[in-house]
Structure 1
């Protein structure tokens, strides 16, 4: 099956397995741009790394309307695991978010409600891990982990959060269905952000925090909540996802360079 009508300048790369990665909404470059060039029309549903087979012109190549038997362009045929005969398959994304969002939301809402009821009592005596994590009710009008910006920053963080959610939604839509790490990380960040956004919208006291402060010796880790933990864990996992993608691209570059070197080919202009 032709995958979104991508094409490659066949003379620039040896046939065989390839890896491509999204570099912008419209342009996709191959493992090394000066060895072979790959372009893919904007689909809005693919991201991450893609694996497939480069088919040389004149063998098993398929043509698009603009191509012909003598065309220097040849389609890329995706590997079987990445082929999707039904088009954009949203099921993995729906499944991951459908699990992550209600779990994080339920934990966040229940724990905040408990904190509002129990931690207002004098000498409540509640803590976690044998006193390592004290429980202290606080209302944060600033950023995560009690970081204050201004006294009345509610209407600054609400639009900023909404904008961040829109950008994360775009990133989520473009993420590959096979990239569970990226899908999960974005789901965590979005779930946590929505939890704190709800607090900011429903009243002017700010976000309910209750975990901490934690004594780390040189300094105290600020008070936080379940939503903050989801955002932080998701952000770390998202960074790991981008790092793994970049490392895979570097490996692909090395593989293509080696293939070109062994075949005595020179990089295309």
Structure 2
């Protein structure tokens, strides 16, 4: 038994015994890679959770607007400054580009693909929130484009938030704008999606 233990514990002549990481794990990648991978999965979970909340709020409010507000008079919320008014929008956010419905549908789908690619190297919590807002908003309006009248890829988006002197919009538009503003701020501060900070 002693001889067997000596043989097992003795490294071979070529030094192929696994290295021990700083946390006691064997292998060079065990200590260095486990924590980033775990952190990356948590950031992706945050992204998906934010996207799900934004999407469900947008979808729920649109269903309520179509059922209760469409073909009815606008509802004052803050006097004449803010009202809820059901509007079908064939264009982009805030009624821009009404003749380019199909183009904006393709752009929304492309945005979702880009976010999915970025998420593979996502280690920043603020970026996860920003991308989650973008994803949820893009999915919300894309759902309208695909499944509402007048047809597939040409569906009109349901808008209902109508400030005085401004275009009518919805919660998906709000999520997209908030996510975009947050991304601009993060980029201005030099924070990348992978968590690194750069300075120009």
The answer for the alignment partner of 2:46 in structure 1 is 96
The answer for the alignment partner of 2:34 in structure 1 is 85
Which of 116, 121, 130 aligns to 1:174? It is 121
- 1:135 equivalent to 2:80? Answer no
TM-score scaled to structure 1, two decimals? 0.54
TM-aligned CA deviation for residue 139 of structure 1? 0.9
TM-score scaled to structure 2, two decimals? 0.71
RMSD: 2.5
The answer for the alignment partner of 1:145 in structure 2 is 94
The answer for the alignment partner of 2:68 in structure 1 is 118
- Supply the distance in 2 between the matched residues of 1:86 and 1:184 (Cα, whole angstroms): 20
Which of 178, 184, 190 aligns to 1:239? It is 184
Structure with greater strand percent: 1
Which of 207, 212, 217 aligns to 2:157? It is 207
SS at match of 1:148: coil
- Supply the distance in 1 between the matched residues of 2:115 and 2:52 (Cα, whole angstroms): 18
TM-aligned CA deviation for residue 87 of structure 1? 5.9
- Residue deviations 1:17-46, cap 9 Å, x none? xxxxxxxxxxxxxxxxxxxxxxxxxxxxxx
Asked if 1 retains the 8 angstrom alpha-carbon contact of 2:89 and 2:98, the reply is no
TM-aligned CA deviation for residue 206 of structure 1? 0.5
Alignment CA distance shift 1:130-1:91 (3 Å)? farther
Unaligned runs of 5+ in 1: 1-79, 254-269
- Residue deviations 1:200-255, cap 9 Å, x none? 0002241000100x22xxxx210000000000000000111111116x533xx8xx
Q: Which runs of 4+ in 1 moved over 4 A?
A: none
- Residue deviations 1:125-151, cap 9 Å, x none? x2323442111111111111111341x
- Residue deviations 1:138-178, cap 9 Å, x none? 1111111111341xx33222222111221222223223x2x
- Supply the distance in 2 between the matched residues of 1:201 and 1:225 (Cα, whole angstroms): 17
TM-aligned CA deviation for residue 193 of structure 1? 0.2
Which of 106, 109, 117 aligns to 2:56? It is 106
How many residues align structurally? 161
Asked if 2 retains the 8 angstrom alpha-carbon contact of 1:138 and 1:209, the reply is yes
Asked if 1 retains the 8 angstrom alpha-carbon contact of 2:77 and 2:83, the reply is yes
The answer for the alignment partner of 1:249 in structure 2 is 198
SS at match of 2:102: helix
The answer for the alignment partner of 1:17 in structure 2 is none
Asked if 2 retains the 8 angstrom alpha-carbon contact of 1:108 and 1:225, the reply is yes
- Supply the distance in 1 between the matched residues of 2:111 and 2:71 (Cα, whole angstroms): 36
Asked if 1 retains the 8 angstrom alpha-carbon contact of 2:130 and 2:179, the reply is yes
TM-aligned CA deviation for residue 91 of structure 1? 2.3
Asked if 2 retains the 8 angstrom alpha-carbon contact of 1:140 and 1:148, the reply is no
Unaligned runs of 5+ in 2: 1-30, 192-196
Alignment CA distance shift 1:122-1:155 (3 Å)? closer
- Supply the distance in 1 between the matched residues of 2:172 and 2:182 (Cα, whole angstroms): 15
